[in-house]
Structure 1
Amino acid sequence: MLGVDGGGTKTACVAIAPSGEILGRGEGGPSNYQSVGVEAAEAAIAHAISGALAGVFEGRIGAIGLGLAGVGRSRDLEVIRASVDRLQQRPEFGDRWQLSPDKIAIAHDCAIALTGGVGANVGVATIAGTGAIAYGRNRHGATRRSSGWGYLLGDEGSAYWIALAGLRAAVRAEDGRSPATALTEAFRQHLELDNLQSLIELVYRRGLTVKEIAAHAAIVDRCARNGDAIALDILDRAADELLLATRAVFAPLFNPDEPFEVVTIGGAWKSQILRDRFCQNLHQIAPFASVIWPRHEPAYGAALLVLS
């Protein structure tokens, strides 16, 4: 059985035995067909599958689950099903598979993050990486999502949002428009700037990418751990925003006394302060919810989709 996690940066595949043991892993390039095109997406998925199957016994592939960014409409499912049909005919795979429709599962990337993270397709995944989104599914198959509008319109609580809030606090303090904060000197030193005015060239002329800005969320966390009030406030607000998205998902899906798990996924959760604040606040409004770390990777979750 194969599980494929395809995103805008890379594609991961795991080959899994019937026992659940991972037999092999492979990686390929981006496979969001909306951005790279169908042909390039298929090539990336094929490369990842080949890597996962390298060294694995020459048996037949029994099923495949794919969780792909950019797959959110019925038309997208048609496109990917056609891609899977072509993948099965690729010469590098010989006659190792010829799957019936019930052995092919296709979903968006949030669904496999939830399924892999919880180890089942029921619960909530609150993702806070470069972007932020919450996604959930209940025992009746109903789903809900919140946030995930991208860095211009939303993604509140994400690493990008935290880092940008930190940079804004630093320049406001530099001007005297806000209270002094350790963030000002922390950003200046980390970015090796002669003065904070140099941020203008760095951000606007050199064009720091969203991912590059998001990476600086760690500076906000470090200042917060050192007791900086402004940094602590930023993480408090981030926790509140992530809780809002999570609540918008679980409230319509689960009864108030119904136990469910919330899996926290993404680099922003490396901040223990952020996670502690989130857990404390969640427990107040959903005492039967349990916050967990991911049990499995998303590619593994994609394979589990075939079994659900």
Structure 2
Amino acid sequence: MPDLFSGVRVGIDVGGTKTHLRAARGGRVTADRIVTSEGWRPANAASAAAFLTDLIAASLPDVAVDAVAVGAHGCDSARACEALATELARRLPAAQCLVRNDAELLVPACGLTAGVGVVAGTGSVAVGRDSRDEPVFMGGWGWLIGDEGSAPGLLREAVRASMTARDRGEPPDLLATALMRSYGVAEVADLPEAMATEAGAVNWGRRAELVFDALHGGSALARAVVDDAADALVRLVTGMAGRDVDVDDVVVAGGVILNQSSLFDTFARKLRMIAPVSTVHRLTVDPVVGAVRLAERLAVG
């Protein structure tokens, strides 16, 4: 019988801005540390592995670990995950090592063994595994052309909706007015140039709250923007189903969808209409919990 209680299992969630390490032994947390992700370069497996092993050494000095599971931001393919896992195992020969995309931590963090993780925060993406246990990614194209339902995506589509309303000859509504005030411009037509001047996921994303403020104020344009964002997130899930991924359980995370009930509720309602077998779960724990659970499964086979 595998021993569930001996050995230290390490889970690491490497996000775009911060990295969270948690270690457990016999179900008891022995280390919990959050550091900046500065220096994280997932495209370079050797550099990324050094980042991880340095973090483990600093967090668990003189402690032997027997399993490490990593959710790695930027590891967006099976090949990238395998390359990093191989390099990590070379540096930690006594440990079993597993690397997955950071969005793949959501399902195990929720206590599930299968399902789809949907993130809508600074970006948006859906991740799952097909019947062959191969990773499947939908979305995650970036703030400039994709990431619908994310903070920058909402801002981009809010400006697009305001411009379209202008082309129809409609006066600026509450949403367009709020956008013009925020950017310090006098005309709706000036919004695209103002956006371009302050381009970037962070700069666009910090204005996403204007969409929800306008929605609560009765803006029809804002309502349409949120509806379209929910539709886009639903399409990520239905796209997963079309690629042989189990969508019975959908775990959502990310600052936008978890903190804006209007988006979450609209997404859950629309998904229920199209995929009534799917159950939507809000992630209520840190994603690193999923990494620790993966490490525990890895250790016991």
Q: Smaller-chain TM-score range?
A: 0.7 to 0.9
Displacement, 1:138? 6.2
Opposite residue 246 of structure 1, the aligned amino acid is V
- What does residue 288 of structure 2 align with? 299
Opposite residue 32 of structure 1, the aligned amino acid is R
Q: What secondary structure is seen at the aligned counterpart in 2 of 1:275? A: helix
Normalised to the residue count of structure 1, the TM-score between the two structures is: 0.79
Q: What secondary structure is seen at the aligned counterpart in 2 of 1:3? A: strand
**Structure 2 unmatched ranges of 5 or more:** 1-8
Contact 2:106 2:252 in 1 (8 A): no
1:208–1:113 CA distance, 2 compared to 1 (3 A): same
CA deviation profile, 1:169-216 (whole Å, cap 9, x unmatched): 34555677445311122123334x153476466433x43312210222
Contact 2:22 2:29 in 1 (8 A): no
Q: What secondary structure is seen at the aligned counterpart in 2 of 1:288? A: coil
Contact 1:123 1:138 in 2 (8 A): no
Number of aligned positions between the proteins? 284
- What does residue 70 of structure 2 align with? 66
- Counterparts of 1:208-247 in structure 2, within 5 Å, are 208-247=199-238
Q: Which whole-Å CA distance do the structure 2 matches of 1:80 and 1:141 have between them?
A: 16
* 1:32 equivalent among 13, 36, 41: 41
Displacement, 1:280? 1.0
- What does residue 93 of structure 1 align with? none
Opposite residue 77 of structure 1, the aligned amino acid is E
1:64–1:174 CA distance, 2 compared to 1 (3 A): same
Opposite residue 52 of structure 2, the aligned amino acid is I
- What does residue 94 of structure 2 align with? 99
Q: Which whole-Å CA distance do the structure 1 matches of 2:167 and 2:71 have between them?
A: 46
Contact 1:28 1:47 in 2 (8 A): no
Q: What secondary structure is seen at the aligned counterpart in 1 of 2:157? A: helix
1:177–1:40 CA distance, 2 compared to 1 (3 A): farther
Q: Which whole-Å CA distance do the structure 1 matches of 2:177 and 2:23 have between them?
A: 48
Q: Which whole-Å CA distance do the structure 1 matches of 2:136 and 2:55 have between them?
A: 30
Q: Which whole-Å CA distance do the structure 1 matches of 2:143 and 2:173 have between them?
A: 25
- What does residue 6 of structure 2 align with? none
**Residue identity (%):** 26
Contact 1:136 1:144 in 2 (8 A): yes
Matched, 1:285 2:274: yes
Q: Which whole-Å CA distance do the structure 1 matches of 2:156 and 2:211 have between them?
A: 10
1:8–1:40 CA distance, 2 compared to 1 (3 A): farther
1:154–1:190 CA distance, 2 compared to 1 (3 A): closer
* 2:82 equivalent among 73, 77, 86: 77
| RMSD over equivalenced CA pairs, Å | 2.9
Q: Which whole-Å CA distance do the structure 1 matches of 2:225 and 2:289 have between them?
A: 34
Greater share of residues in helix: 1
Q: What secondary structure is seen at the aligned counterpart in 2 of 1:120? A: coil
Opposite residue 42 of structure 2, the aligned amino acid is Y
Q: Which whole-Å CA distance do the structure 2 matches of 1:286 and 1:162 have between them?
A: 24
Opposite residue 263 of structure 1, the aligned amino acid is V
Q: Which whole-Å CA distance do the structure 2 matches of 1:33 and 1:173 have between them?
A: 42
- What does residue 53 of structure 1 align with? 60
CA deviation profile, 1:147-186 (whole Å, cap 9, x unmatched): 2222344322222221111123345556774453111221
CA deviation profile, 1:267-302 (whole Å, cap 9, x unmatched): 220221111111111112222322111143222212
Displacement, 1:143? 4.6
1:303–1:170 CA distance, 2 compared to 1 (3 A): same
Opposite residue 306 of structure 1, the aligned amino acid is A
Q: What secondary structure is seen at the aligned counterpart in 2 of 1:297? A: coil
Contact 1:160 1:214 in 2 (8 A): yes
Q: What secondary structure is seen at the aligned counterpart in 2 of 1:121? A: coil
Displacement, 1:246? 0.8
Q: Which whole-Å CA distance do the structure 2 matches of 1:249 and 1:172 have between them?
A: 31
Contact 2:159 2:192 in 1 (8 A): no
**Structure 1 unmatched ranges of 5 or more:** 89-97
Contact 1:159 1:215 in 2 (8 A): yes
1:83–1:250 CA distance, 2 compared to 1 (3 A): same
Contact 2:130 2:136 in 1 (8 A): no
Q: What secondary structure is seen at the aligned counterpart in 2 of 1:253? A: coil
- What does residue 176 of structure 2 align with? 184
Displacement, 1:237? 0.7
